[in-house]
Amino acid sequence: MSGNCTIAPSVYLADGAIVRGDVTIGEDASVWFHAVVRGDEGPIRIGARSNVQDCAVVHSDLGTGVEIGEEVTIGHGAVVRGAHIGDRAMIGMNATVMTGAVIGEEAIVGAGAVVPYGMNVPPRCLAVGVPARVVRELERWELEQSRAAFLAYLELAAGYRQGKWKGP
């Protein structure tokens, strides 16, 4: 961790996580193993209870910051660059969200999708594919599953902070 970082005391930073530059991370958020959060080209704000999973990259882009809302899940290997992610949204594993994209509250970007520059994904909608396209509104069970994912990471981070999980 270096630069102008403001990280709440309750944040869990896993071994190998890299946080640099102008980065603010809210209460009970987590940044997992080998994830990179680089605020060297603009500010990054990660909201309370959000999680950035293993090997994900969150990077500002030439003066364009990143805003990640509260209770957001950024899946394993995902890339978020210069984008806005609304509260309770989920970015699937290995998805890419490009500069200027806006992901609405409770929206889901499917695994492996590529959200192009400036795309808007409306709240509570599903975007999939390369390039991503909005295919439909989310059903109640999908919203519940997304919520369960972020809650699971809250519990997992608490366990790591308490020393329940040990490394090799």
Q: Is residue 167 part of a domain?
A: no
Number of folded domains in the chain? 1
Q: If you search the block for the tokens 């999680």, which residue do you land on? A: 51
CA atoms within 13 A on the CB side of 54: 2
Q: Is residue 39 part of a domain?
A: yes
Residue 105: which domain range?
6-161
Q: Is residue 1 part of a domain?
A: no
Q: Is residue 117 part of a domain?
A: yes
Report the CATH number that the domain containing residue 153 is assigned in CATH.
2.160.10.10
In tens digits, the chain (168 residues) has pLDDT values of 666 899 999 999 999 999 999 999 999 999 999 999 999 999 999 999 999 999 999 999 998 999 999 999 999 999 999 999 999 999 999 999 999 999 999 999 999 999 999 999 999 999 999 999 999 999 999 999 999 999 999 999 999 988 887 654
Alpha-carbon distances of 80 from 110, 155, 168, rounded to whole Å = 13, 24, 30
Q: Is residue 72 part of a domain?
A: yes
Q: Is residue 166 part of a domain?
A: no
Round to whole Å and give the CA distance between 109 and 75: 10
Taking the model in full, what pTM does it have? 0.95
Q: Is residue 115 part of a domain?
A: yes
CA angle, 140 then 48 then 89, to 5° = 30
Round to whole Å and give the CA distance between 28 and 49: 5
**24 within 8 A of 6, measured Cβ to Cβ:** yes
Q: Is residue 25 part of a domain?
A: yes
